[in-house]
Structure 1
Amino acid sequence: MAPNILLVVLDSVRARNTSLYESDAETTPFLKEFAHKATVYEQARAPGTDSLQSHASIFTGLHVAEHRMRDIGDRLRPGNTIWEELAADGYETGVFSYNSYLTQAPVGLSDAFETVVSGENHRVPFPGGFDPSNLNRDGFKRYLEFMHCVASSGRPLRSLANGLALWDVTRPLIPSRFQGLNIVPDSKFTDEFETWVNNRNGSWAACVNYMSAHTPYLPDPEYDLWAGQTERELMCDLESHKWEFIAGCRPWSERAALERAYNGCIRQVDAELKRLLSTLSRHGELNNTLVVITADHGEGFGEEGAIRPVRSVAHGTTGGLEEDILHVPLVVKYPDQTEGTRVKTVASLTEFPALVRRTIAGERDKSGFVPDNGLVLASDSGLSEQKRDSVPKYVEDVEVYEHGGKAVYRTTRDNRIRKDVEWNGNTMAFDCTYPRETIRLDDHDQTVLQEAFAGLEPSKAVTSDDVVPADDVKARLEQLGYR
């Protein structure tokens, strides 16, 4: 039987905070153990700085500068992803995630899969009733809006119960099995994936995107090993985990302190990853599965910018093309692989579709994420119009974030990792062999940047339209900090 394909995206997990990549905190004990019989890429780079950009590149094999997806309004046309290609070859495909860009937003990514699990049925105890997360107003007006929606829902008792299950005042008074979920935990998607796999008769291909390490950084107590109540209260008190720091409303030391809670989130997602792969092993599926474990991007916690005169915070344009954002974990286990190996050459997640095709053809290329020409490209498109609208609430001058940028990585003859960057008309070069110690180089190579990006024309795979997401999708995107 053809091998199964499993892509696991640890959303927002940067390599430097995983113990697999020698973090001082033991955040990924399972992934470190799993890697002993897998292929570890030490120098993997994300193609973009945010979730939408990177997932579009991973799914299509197109660079960000080609597909140019930025936000709602950009839509991937059908027939351009590896998942649709696999479905045409007889695979059953599914995606499992609380990330709305993957499972709900009208950007075309969810259309690539036959089964789409967004977790919506787990948010409220009574799915047939109104979901309070769809409310748009605040204060007393929010209460009036909710009562109006309850009355017009057709199922007022269920809708009212959902409100009580999510309201902070009444939620603790309700038995846990009837409490609503502000954010659906990754464990629910592991459960859904297991049920789905058990009902498959032939080969399958799936993407599981785990959101535990994405903001808000609120790990379960058993994984919260490095933070405390102070960090938890700070996280809950934030209105914007990015712009409040950029605007100077809060000191950068508080943003740095949140990294301790973030480490606990990574420990939690590592535990969920163990549960996921143990499920496959228990059902005899693991040995016949290509497993790719990575992240769509990293996260900034106020580190000084090497490329721009601002600190790196969160991800996307505010994070920039810094190593904290682009250096991501990448572990690959081929079907029946039993010996571990490490790849030190710079690698790109954009190579995922090509790796899948070669694996199905029976090839076991241990450097499969390394581009043939050795050049790894990354891009940031700058602030989209939708995201720009929310910025003036915090800062008036956003010019430094308006500019996108582009970077080219390559492995030199002496096995160093060189990064050439162009941002706001300036060209810079860095030695990124040790991503925690990015070193500015005196020379820069504008030619390699020009040549690498010269042939990347806008792809016809993406179109722009006026599709407006539903209110519940907009609410979830805002909840996750995407808007």
Structure 2
Amino acid sequence: MGRDESPNVLLVVLDSVRAKNCSLYGAARPTTPFLESLAAESITYTQARAPSNWSLPSHVSIFTGFEAHEHRLTVHDRLRPGNTVFESLAEAGYETGLFTENGFLNGRSSGIQECFETVTGVPDEYDETYDTASLNPGPDGFYYADQLLDWTAEQDGEWAACLNVMDSHRPFEPREEYDMWGDEQARQLQADLDVRWEWQFYGDTHPYWRLAGLESLYDGGIRQADAVAKRTIETLRQRGELDDTLVVVCGDHGDGFGEPGRLPDEPNAVSHIIPMHEELLHVPLLVRPPGGTAGEMCHEPAALTQFPAVVEAYVDGDPSGAAFATERVVSSKQPVTADLRDRFEDACGDVTPFTAASHAVYTNEEGRAVRKRYHWGDEGLEASISGAGDFRLLREIDPTAVTGAFDAPEAGVREPMGGRQATEQAKEQLAALGYY
């Protein structure tokens, strides 16, 4: 990568945000007013898909450019050094930073933390004005945005950073000014549930319709994540740095609130990791190039794994062909780990519906639609999707029409941890977010 007059790079990941609930993509609730204004000077991708249905494999794909079925990294693995775009940028002279409370990213067990020169995770001490939650105590996304902004202000040369915003991740506890649709009943339901509530819905302790209350809190979390992105990007604008920065804003995956499966034995979508519904895979994606653009829209399938290639094109000074749009986008469900399997057995007995393999392939259609072919276990289907929340079933298909796209050899970027999993510190952070 070159460096003469190269732009700064800012990746803002709105963790767990699905396109369907963003007003940018037509949701009735005004959840993303800032993204809507940013779209006027950005490229908005209407058909972006996540490489996987949860944080760890999706972030590895975004950082490395390898699809989830190529890198195959799970909680039992470490990412080998030297495979991410941020390390390449550091070699080119950039200062690199990661700012997040997500223990899958800032915990040393995954290896991701070591790909950045500066890492800000959950602090021991912080200003209490950032601590506005009770179920997940600690600073919210505004803290990490401010830490990033303090860090960028100290840089003399180019920088590249990832800000992972967890305000839209469960438990959903937006500040009062953003909690516009939740009510006391929804907040009490969330407080009464386990932090990881899949088991209580999949195990029939609660009916799926009760998830609508949690979705109202989730929408407030998206509104707050949108505000965190605004503080970050608008501060760079005020400093005169925005036009020297490539900005990418995306979701890493979505969340499920009881949406039914479309294939036999496919479970309802509850939170993430297990489902492969559109609610989990269709995510927001905006790109503001240095200097901005005239508010463009791209309706072709877009892959988040294009991030390293897009960054490299801008850094090398030849962004004319840089785009997230591709002829084919693929998404994979990573294998269910032993810990997850045990939990499903305890809550549901039969684990078969939850451990089935699943993959999805997206290709372009005429107009603004994409064609989705996917399978859940031994059943497959084909559908046409014209926008967030739209799904038109076309026909059943043989799963082999999908699985052939996932025959690539392993990329060799992971190091199995021999049965070891996250450190105790990382587990503590992840437990507050519904893991472990």
2:262 aligned residue (283, 306, 311): 306
Counterpart position of 2:186? 231
Give secondary structure in 2 for the equivalent of 1:437.
coil
Counterpart position of 1:11? 15
Measure how far apart 1:465 and its partner are.
Answer: 1.2
The alpha-carbon distance between structure 1 residues 365 and 345, as it changes in their structure 2 partners (threshold 3 A), is: farther
Counterpart position of 1:390? 343
Q: Which amino acid aligns with 1:338?
A: T
Distance 1:68 1:458 in 2: 7
- Contact 1:375–1:410 (CA<8 Å) still a contact in 2? yes
- Contact 1:19–1:28 (CA<8 Å) still a contact in 2? yes
For structure 2, which runs of at least 5 residues remain unmatched after alignment?
none
Whether 1:54 and 2:58 are equivalent positions in the alignment is yes
Measure how far apart 1:433 and its partner are.
Answer: 2.0
Instruction: Within 5 Å, give how 1:372-383 maps onto structure 2.
Output: 374-383=327-336
Counterpart position of 2:201? 245
Q: What is the TM-score when the length of structure 2 is the normalising length?
A: 0.93
Whether 1:33 and 2:46 are equivalent positions in the alignment is no
Deviation track 1:286-323 (CA, whole Å, cap 9, x = no partner) reads 00100000010001000111245321110111xx2211
Whether 1:336 and 2:287 are equivalent positions in the alignment is no
Distance 1:427 1:411 in 2: 19
Q: Which amino acid aligns with 1:18?
A: C
Counterpart position of 1:464? 416
The alpha-carbon distance between structure 1 residues 340 and 293, as it changes in their structure 2 partners (threshold 3 A), is: same
1:98 aligned residue (97, 101, 104): 101
Q: Which amino acid aligns with 1:36?
A: A
Counterpart position of 1:433? 386
Counterpart position of 2:164? 209
Distance 1:298 1:66 in 2: 21
Whether 1:350 and 2:353 are equivalent positions in the alignment is no
For structure 1, which runs of at least 5 residues remain unmatched after alignment?
126-174
- Contact 1:408–1:448 (CA<8 Å) still a contact in 2? no
Measure how far apart 1:444 and its partner are.
Answer: 3.4
Distance 2:422 2:269 in 1: 29
Deviation track 1:320-367 (CA, whole Å, cap 9, x = no partner) reads 221100000000000012311000001110111011111112233476
The alpha-carbon distance between structure 1 residues 216 and 44, as it changes in their structure 2 partners (threshold 3 A), is: same
- Contact 1:297–1:327 (CA<8 Å) still a contact in 2? yes
Q: Which amino acid aligns with 1:395?
A: C
1:296 aligned residue (232, 245, 252): 252
Distance 2:246 2:405 in 1: 30
Q: Which has the larger radius of gyration?
A: 1
Measure how far apart 1:231 and its partner are.
Answer: 0.8
Measure how far apart 1:430 and its partner are.
Answer: 1.1
- Contact 1:429–1:445 (CA<8 Å) still a contact in 2? no
Give secondary structure in 2 for the equivalent of 1:406.
strand
- Contact 1:124–1:179 (CA<8 Å) still a contact in 2? no
Give secondary structure in 2 for the equivalent of 1:442.
strand
Q: Which amino acid aligns with 2:253?
A: H
Instruction: Within 5 Å, give how 1:407-446 maps onto structure 2.
Output: 407-413=360-366, 416-442=369-395, 444=397
The alpha-carbon distance between structure 1 residues 420 and 176, as it changes in their structure 2 partners (threshold 3 A), is: closer
Deviation track 1:215-235 (CA, whole Å, cap 9, x = no partner) reads 001111111111111111111
Distance 1:178 1:48 in 2: 30
Distance 2:276 2:109 in 1: 27
Measure how far apart 1:447 and its partner are.
Answer: 6.2
Q: What is the TM-score when the length of structure 1 is the normalising length?
A: 0.84
The alpha-carbon distance between structure 1 residues 67 and 102, as it changes in their structure 2 partners (threshold 3 A), is: same
Note the aligned Cα RMSD (angstroms). Answer: 2.2
Distance 2:330 2:34 in 1: 30
The alpha-carbon distance between structure 1 residues 178 and 25, as it changes in their structure 2 partners (threshold 3 A), is: closer
Distance 1:429 1:177 in 2: 45
2:155 aligned residue (172, 175, 200): 200
Structure 1's consecutive aligned runs of 4 or more residues displaced over 4 angstroms after TM superposition are 175-181, 445-448
2:113 aligned residue (110, 115, 118): 110
